[in-house]
Amino acid sequence: MISWRKSSRSGNAGGSNCVEVGCRTNAGIAVRDTKHRTGAVFTLTPDSWSGFVRDLKSGGFDVA
């Protein structure tokens, strides 16, 4: 079973406009859409996840 976490920056209005990140599984880091918790889940290798977080923090994506 995966233990899911949602960002504290998800907002207070239900917090449904975000993704949730699951703890490491044997396959890697799990990610899902909060609005569709029973839907698709994709996984990233630990190295890919680290790269994604590094790029996100450095402004590599246009997010607001």
Q: Are strands 4-6 and 29-33 parallel, antiparallel or unpaired?
A: unpaired
Which residues, other chains included, contact 10 with Cβ-Cβ below 8 Å and sequence gap of 6+?
16, 17, 18, 34
Q: What is the pLDDT of residues 39-62, one digit of tens each?
A: 888 889 989 989 988 998 888 877
The predicted model scores a pTM of: 0.67
Comparison of pLDDT for 12 and 53, the residue scoring more: 53
Quote the mean pLDDT of the chain. 80
What whole-number distance in Å separates Cα of residue 11 and Cα of residue 5? 14
With a cut of 80, say whether residue 30 has pLDDT above it.
yes
The one-letter code for the residue type at 61 is F
